[in-house]
Amino acid sequence: MGLFEGKTGLVFGIANDHSIAWAITQKLHEEGATMGFTHLPDKDPERPRMERRLRKLVEPIGATLMMPCDVQKDEDLDAVFAAAREELGPLDFVLHSIAYAPIDDLKGQTVAVSRDGFLTSMEISVYSLLSISCRAREHLKPGGSILTLTYLGGEKVIPGYNIMGVCKAALESSVQYLAHELGPDGIRINALSAGPLKTLSSSAVGDFEVMMKLYNSAAPMRRNVSPEDVGKTGMFLLSDLASGITGENVHVDSGFHIMGAPPADVEV
């Protein structure tokens, strides 16, 4: 019997088949989970690109719930959780795999980020975890689990990651405060810090290709991670196998984060 047999959850953040949320979803599905999904609202209802892309992926795995959701809108979040209650009943897990920064602010120096860019980046990339967790608290069963995605740029300076690094630092701190507050209700929350993977979001980050190459030569395992690596650990953290883990930032990065200097065989 699969680890998620008879379990239900909500997944935020599948944009396409390269999305990290999709890698984790596939593992959850293999273990028997029933899931609801959200996609960014389509601007043109005549050509619902986002909805179609998501539908193509999740219909074949038996998704019963697919809804538009812009995390900047409370009414969207309320509608998603109300529909989840109706369709899926009390939830076992919630996956938050969302981040955004306006491109000019992301590419520019952190010192020069605009006020609006800062607020938008923080709202979508950090506040969304708080607002989703606040609602999830009402819908998760005791023993329920929340997972968010982060990156080493929240702990150390990664050139090119800029304002998103500041967001990830705030996200990781939020995970700890939320773990403290939700723990008494029997709810766990963790972050998974993934190595660099080629996705829609990461294509906007400067020097990301350089980072991917660097992992191949400088990570202890001398390779970058795969979506499969991240999918497996994401599923584990949401599962009952991780029943004693909360407030943690689990690195799935071939060990890259432990290095303080490149190995001797790497040319600098």
**Binding residues for ligand 0WD (CB under 6 A):** 13, 15, 18-21, 40, 69-72, 97-100, 124, 149-151, 194, 196-197, 199-202
Min dist. Cβ of residue 264 to ligand 0WD (A): 27
Min dist. Cβ of residue 17 to ligand 0WD (A): 9
- Residue that the structure tokens 């909360």 belong to: 246
Q: Specify the length of the chain in residues.
A: 268
> Are 13 and 98 in contact, with CB atoms under 8 Å apart?
yes
CA distance 201 to 19: 9
Q: CB-wise, 32 or 156, nearer to ligand 0WD?
A: 156
Q: How many CB atoms lie within 10 A of CB 52?
A: 12
Cβ neighbors of 141 (< 8 A, separation 6 or more) are 90, 91, 92, 186
Q: CB-wise, 69 or 179, nearer to ligand 0WD?
A: 69
Residues belonging to the active site? 151, 161
Q: CB-wise, 94 or 98, nearer to ligand 0WD?
A: 98
CA distance 156 to 131: 26
Min dist. Cβ of residue 111 to ligand 0WD (A): 21
CA distance 164 to 110: 9
CA distance 10 to 259: 35
- Residue that the structure tokens 């390779």 belong to: 223
Tell me which DSSP letter residue 196 carries.
P
Min dist. Cβ of residue 142 to ligand 0WD (A): 27
Q: CB-wise, 21 or 33, nearer to ligand 0WD?
A: 21
CA distance 240 to 3: 8
Min dist. Cβ of residue 237 to ligand 0WD (A): 14
Q: CB-wise, 19 or 233, nearer to ligand 0WD?
A: 19
